[in-house]
Structure 1
Amino acid sequence: MNYTEKLSAIRKLMLTEGIDAYIIPSADPHLSEYLPDFYKCIEFVTGFTGSVSTVVITQNFAGLWADFRYFEQAEAELKGSGFELVKLNIPHTPQYIDWLKEQLTNGSVIGFDENLVSIIMGEMLIKQLASKQINFKHCDCIDPIWENRPPLPTANAYLLGDEVTGESMVSKLTAIRSEMKKSNTSHHLISSLDDIAWVFNLRGSDVKYNPIALSFALIDENQTTLYIDAHKLSAIDAEKLTNNGVNIAPYIQVGNDLQKIASESAILIDPKRTCSALYKSINNDVKRVLQINPSTNFKAVKNDLEISNTRKSMVKDGVAMTQFFKWIKENVNKIEITELSAAKKLEEFRAAQIGFVGESFNTIAGYKAHGALPHYATTAISDAKIEAEGLFLVDSGGQYHYGTTDITRVIPLGNNTEEEKTDYTLVLKAMIEGSKTRFPKGTCGYQIDAITRRPMWEHGLNFGHGTGHGVGYFLNVHEGPQTINASAIPVSMDLGMITSIEPGIYRTGKHGIRIENLVLTIADECNEFNQFYAFETLTLAPIDTTLVKKELLEQSQIEWLNNYHTIVYDRISPFLNEEEKAFLKVMTTAI
């Protein structure tokens, strides 16, 4: 079936089920950002390949809600599908609920697969549409029409040793049970895959770019059950789990076991990371405590070994990035280089590093106007040839057995305009301003966000995405609970957190500029006013200075940049050959 035929088939099922509006979220039962192919329902129905969106279908309208990062991509991919792009004004907001409220009549029925909707989203729908007396129905209108649907992943999973993680699963389970006791709960369900991976020191490859395995976990006061298909684990790892007090049960058994929790028990559940279907399977007499998974907070604060290993991964990544810069600058216009071939070459440089497992996300390689699309994904059709002019934005990252990286650099290739030079300098200035910030204990991400944006605001410039996100340890490249954006999220930037700082400027049809480093929150000065924290920059790769307009930088920012480049050269050069060292020396020359 083509996309219009799929839309027609869904509408027929809606009529059969008595559904007036059908919602398709970008999600799986674990509320993941990156999905197994089995759960890429929006891509199957609409053709849109972006990672964040929501689809709503009625009998006379079909819309896809996405934020500015995907506007151009969505408009191109939705052509001829029967779906219209609805542009979100604010990223990550469920504005389709307001649309449903306006469009639906009293007593209408909204359908969705409760396995793909979080507890908090389900409750938001009920609350915001209460005045319309809307009825809700659990219904899967996708599976009946999806011929040859990809199976659930079956890749092997494996346990990491304590010498890699720095903390045993027993220690982590003890810490979680302590938090359960504080919240007066006897049980705790974990659905989020990165949390499970952290708790059990478990890694896998069920989802591209994220080293996780499909699983659930149920922890009570006396026992722990890991719901994972047994064939994924080696006999040695299965025995290790058992010896550490972990029962192994089939992946699909979690719902049945939740139904068996005794009345008057109390269960701790993260409402943002648990699906409505599992929530509803719990006996009504069981008390529910809805709060963030304790493991999410624990996981965000890296231990000493995780920090030490992450620093090692940054050296490996910096070597690969330096080799990539040298290759592209020396070969542009000599051999054919395209966005796809450049991304492939970068992956090859990373793959040559010991401990490399794979990319941490799909490389964003945007030449000229493509760089203005923050989440641009090159296709065979859009693949642009790289030439000796303009700007080439490369946002990439690696998964290593000892860390996760995420870095964005812009490569000037020649004949650059004054506008490009000014924009480049202001983005660099903003990144430096955020990186060198000192702040009192308790400072939250939205405060760092404003500090970082200030140099751009002074010139009437801004960008529509967040300034930064948490990064995992050989785990998801995007993790919480901390974030650096304009939302007043009351999560402080605590010691041991690894976060990105990545401001940008995007001029549609012209160019995009984003410069990104990862930083570690460290202790700074303690005085009568407070304990102050600072950022240690972890990313080790040169920042091209050929476009920098020095007059736009403050002296402290120039000093930061020169000091940074000294560190980059000192730590990266021992792992380069003589030609590469000479190249890096030029790139890191003080301005």
Structure 2
Amino acid sequence: MKQLRNEMKRQEIDYYIVPSDDFHGSEYVGEYFKCRQFITGFTGSSGTAVIWKDGAGLWTDGRYFLQAEEQLSGSGITLFKMGEAGVPAVPEFLEQRMGAGECAGVDGRTVSASWIRRLSEMLEKKGASVRTDVELIGKIWNDRPPRSCSPVWMLPEIQGESCEDKTELIRCDMKREGCDLLILSSLDEIAWLFNMRGNDTACCPVALAYAVVGMQEIAVYMQEKALTKETRSVLQKRGVCIHDYEQIYEELSAAVQDKTVWADHDQLNAALAGRLKGAASVLEQESPILKRKAVKSRSQLQRIRDAHVKDGVAVTRFLCWLKDHIGHERITEISAAKKLEEFRRAQEGYLMPSFEPIMAYREHGAIVHYAADMASDMELAPEGLLLMDTGAHYREGTTDITRTVSLGQPDAQQKMHYTMVLKGNLRLAAAKFQYGCSGENLDILARQPLWNAGLDYRHGTGHGVGDLLSVHEGPQAIRWRHIRGKEAVVLEEGMVISDEPGLYLHGKYGIRLENLMVCEKREKNAYGQFMGFEVLTMVPFDREAIALELLDGTDRKLLNDYHRHVYETLVPYLDKREAAWLKEITKEI
């Protein structure tokens, strides 16, 4: 902090902002980009630090309050609990504190253009300003890890999914909007467009890159060492011009001169947005790739189904193992997560986790995004509930599943709450609806059993999932609360989305049950096109935690049909012990 403040003084910076982001707004970042962790000591994945002459603050969300309090203890850094009453967001905090003539600074590559615009407008009213050309952490981080530069690999070109086919579709979108150039900085969008994958960020198989799509040419800016002769040749054969990663900042200003440019300012970093000043005009709406990659093709969906069968085998084997071994050997939250990882690694084509595993026992389950560490790692016992939210990337696709299981004999309240959540999951999966509906229209199906009892959960019911890309993918979502300024996204055939109602009792336990589904067409008649869901996840629910008397006839049929499908799908891949266990837990009720 002392070294940073010395650098701030030299640069005449009164407040220095250190976000958690890389240069691409990624959900997960490589070690090189963990500047906020370096300066504060807080290791959570989300948060923003602000440092000033005689103080410092860290902003993070409810997932990390307990962890942040522990890691910031004695540091002199104040914890600002985002979302709590009376706690200002970073822009509001700076607006309140800064006076005329004062200057805030940030590395413009690590914040979005829209965020900086909002902050700048707020500070201008106070006579203060913000600079985006100050990268100070690198000056004092002497043992900074190198920027990741893993070898990229290419997906096979399939009819209708080739780079050329995708580029043609994107150019049609550009032509419709009257744009000459499309600027891309989101790593999963670039990976999708070029059918290219890498390993430069945790939990998401993407490579560090930028791209510029023109009506005739297309360019990618990436680290040269990430390319072999073979992968370079593949990209060139796909009509892609390859430039060095850093050149984007030098070349973009000239490339956009007098052009109509499409650039999503919620995604594009502020430093790149500053290079667009010579453009004739800038269309700042979301990239056309966002919706294109959300709709999966038939061949993609078949691969994704294969991935879920593999994942179903791994998770089911783990559940059988856990029920057999609990109480007979020492198992903790962390060791249980590692054991599940072992079962997944045994599946051919397994690549990596799709997010940091949540293995939350008893009261830890009430922390929605709990992550066990050595200090919190709780030993499991043959009692209580264990919430497991995990996922994986396979060569065939991406998975995300949550199961809550009873490790002993659940009490009546636990069974009642588990059954309410289960009913919500089953009823949403069984939804039949008119084309044109969004997730906002359907969310009540998952919440109704809880709402009827005056209960709820404070997170969305469903998020989109990528194909060997981000496990949290837009634009589709299932939630009841409308976000001001955002259009409700229509659920399209081929969109993969999660179904994950939950219930969290602070200090006691948490329950969440999550399957992935794909939206599909049903019949079309005089009333219109009807839609529904196919459930992709192939893992049983915990029969021992269900209050059977709370299930009506429809609920029982839905559960029986799902369990029958799970059993028939998985039993060929299981040994005798596992198959017998699965048969028992999925038997008809």
| Bucket of the pairwise TM-score, normalised by the shorter protein | over 0.9
Q: What secondary structure sits across from 1:162 in the alignment?
A: coil
Choose the corresponding residue for 2:38, options 44, 49, 65: 44
State the one-letter code of the partner of 2:532: A
- Tell me which residue corresponds to 1:589: 587
Provide the C-alpha distance between the structure 1 equivalents of 2:474 and 2:144, rounded to a whole number of angstroms: 31
Change (3 A) 1:431 1:84: farther
Whether contact under 8 Å (1:73, 1:376) holds in the other structure is no
Note the C-alpha offset of 1:422: 2.1
Provide the C-alpha distance between the structure 2 equivalents of 1:372 and 1:276, rounded to a whole number of angstroms: 37
Choose the corresponding residue for 1:515, options 506, 513, 516: 513
Provide the C-alpha distance between the structure 1 equivalents of 2:446 and 2:256, rounded to a whole number of angstroms: 50
Whether contact under 8 Å (2:123, 2:129) holds in the other structure is no
Please give the per-residue CA displacement for 1:349-378, whole angstroms capped at 9, x wherever unaligned. Answer: 111111111111111111112212222121
Choose the corresponding residue for 1:258, options 244, 252, 260: 252
**Which has the higher mean CA deviation after the structures are superposed, 406-415 or 254-263?**
254-263
Change (3 A) 1:391 1:404: same
Whether contact under 8 Å (1:156, 1:233) holds in the other structure is yes
Q: Is residue 2:207 matched to residue 1:213?
A: yes
Q: What secondary structure sits across from 1:496 in the alignment?
A: coil
Q: Is residue 2:184 matched to residue 1:190?
A: yes
- Tell me which residue corresponds to 1:4: none
Provide the C-alpha distance between the structure 1 equivalents of 2:57 and 2:588, rounded to a whole number of angstroms: 51
Provide the C-alpha distance between the structure 2 equivalents of 1:494 and 1:90, rounded to a whole number of angstroms: 36
Whether contact under 8 Å (1:68, 1:464) holds in the other structure is no
TM-score (norm 1): 0.95
Structure 2 matches for 1:113-512, cutoff 5 A?
113-138=107-132, 139-163=134-158, 167-261=161-255, 263-485=257-479, 486-488=481-483, 489-490=486-487, 491-512=489-510
Provide the C-alpha distance between the structure 2 equivalents of 1:188 and 1:481, rounded to a whole number of angstroms: 19
Q: What secondary structure sits across from 1:132 in the alignment?
A: coil
State the one-letter code of the partner of 2:197: R
- Tell me which residue corresponds to 1:3: none
Provide the C-alpha distance between the structure 1 equivalents of 2:374 and 2:477, rounded to a whole number of angstroms: 34
Provide the C-alpha distance between the structure 1 equivalents of 2:13 and 2:457, rounded to a whole number of angstroms: 39
Provide the C-alpha distance between the structure 2 equivalents of 1:8 and 1:514, rounded to a whole number of angstroms: 44
State the one-letter code of the partner of 2:553: Q
Note the C-alpha offset of 1:94: 8.2
Whether contact under 8 Å (2:178, 2:260) holds in the other structure is yes
Note the C-alpha offset of 1:439: 2.3
Note the C-alpha offset of 1:61: 3.8
Q: What secondary structure sits across from 2:255 in the alignment?
A: coil
State the one-letter code of the partner of 2:543: T
TM-score (norm 2): 0.95
Change (3 A) 1:442 1:78: farther
Q: What secondary structure sits across from 2:545 in the alignment?
A: coil
Provide the C-alpha distance between the structure 1 equivalents of 2:282 and 2:112, rounded to a whole number of angstroms: 15
Please give the per-residue CA displacement for 1:111-167, whole angstroms capped at 9, x wherever unaligned. Answer: 11100111111122123444223311122231122120011012100111124x861
- Tell me which residue corresponds to 2:530: 532
Whether contact under 8 Å (1:109, 1:135) holds in the other structure is yes
**Which has the higher mean CA deviation after the structures are superposed, 249-258 or 227-236?**
227-236
Provide the C-alpha distance between the structure 1 equivalents of 2:408 and 2:142, rounded to a whole number of angstroms: 49
Whether contact under 8 Å (1:505, 1:514) holds in the other structure is yes
Whether contact under 8 Å (1:261, 1:283) holds in the other structure is no
- Tell me which residue corresponds to 1:54: 48
Please give the per-residue CA displacement for 1:35-64, whole angstroms capped at 9, x wherever unaligned. Answer: 011111222122222222222233344222
Q: What secondary structure sits across from 2:10 in the alignment?
A: helix
- Tell me which residue corresponds to 1:559: 557
Provide the C-alpha distance between the structure 2 equivalents of 1:517 and 1:222, rounded to a whole number of angstroms: 42
Whether contact under 8 Å (1:206, 1:213) holds in the other structure is yes
Provide the C-alpha distance between the structure 1 equivalents of 2:95 and 2:121, rounded to a whole number of angstroms: 11
Q: Is residue 2:65 matched to residue 1:67?
A: no
Q: Is residue 2:99 matched to residue 1:101?
A: no
Provide the C-alpha distance between the structure 2 equivalents of 1:312 and 1:294, rounded to a whole number of angstroms: 28
Change (3 A) 1:320 1:23: same
Identical amino acids, percent of aligned pairs: 39
Q: What secondary structure sits across from 1:397 in the alignment?
A: strand
- Structure 1: 4+ residue segments shifted above 6 A: none
Provide the C-alpha distance between the structure 2 equivalents of 1:74 and 1:438, rounded to a whole number of angstroms: 43
Whether contact under 8 Å (1:400, 1:474) holds in the other structure is yes
Please give the per-residue CA displacement for 1:314-344, whole angstroms capped at 9, x wherever unaligned. Answer: 1110100111011111011111111111111
State the one-letter code of the partner of 1:527: N
Whether contact under 8 Å (1:186, 1:221) holds in the other structure is yes
**Which has the higher mean CA deviation after the structures are superposed, 116-125 or 320-329?**
116-125
Whether contact under 8 Å (2:501, 2:514) holds in the other structure is yes
**Which has the higher mean CA deviation after the structures are superposed, 226-235 or 447-456?**
447-456
Change (3 A) 1:557 1:215: same
Please give the per-residue CA displacement for 1:175-215, whole angstroms capped at 9, x wherever unaligned. Answer: 11111111111111110000011000001111121110111
- Tell me which residue corresponds to 1:572: 570
Provide the C-alpha distance between the structure 2 equivalents of 1:378 and 1:260, rounded to a whole number of angstroms: 49
Change (3 A) 1:128 1:443: farther
Q: What secondary structure sits across from 2:276 in the alignment?
A: coil
Provide the C-alpha distance between the structure 2 equivalents of 1:322 and 1:296, rounded to a whole number of angstroms: 33
Provide the C-alpha distance between the structure 2 equivalents of 1:166 and 1:68, rounded to a whole number of angstroms: 43
Structure 2 stretches lacking a partner, 5+ long: none
Change (3 A) 1:8 1:419: farther
Note the C-alpha offset of 1:403: 0.6
- Tell me which residue corresponds to 2:539: 541
Structure 1 stretches lacking a partner, 5+ long: 1-6
State the one-letter code of the partner of 1:562: N
Q: What secondary structure sits across from 2:211 in the alignment?
A: strand
Provide the C-alpha distance between the structure 2 equivalents of 1:301 and 1:508, rounded to a whole number of angstroms: 38
Note the C-alpha offset of 1:285: 4.1
- Tell me which residue corresponds to 2:10: 16
Provide the C-alpha distance between the structure 1 equivalents of 2:160 and 2:348, rounded to a whole number of angstroms: 20
Note the C-alpha offset of 1:95: 2.4
Whether contact under 8 Å (1:261, 1:282) holds in the other structure is no
Provide the C-alpha distance between the structure 2 equivalents of 1:263 and 1:378, rounded to a whole number of angstroms: 50
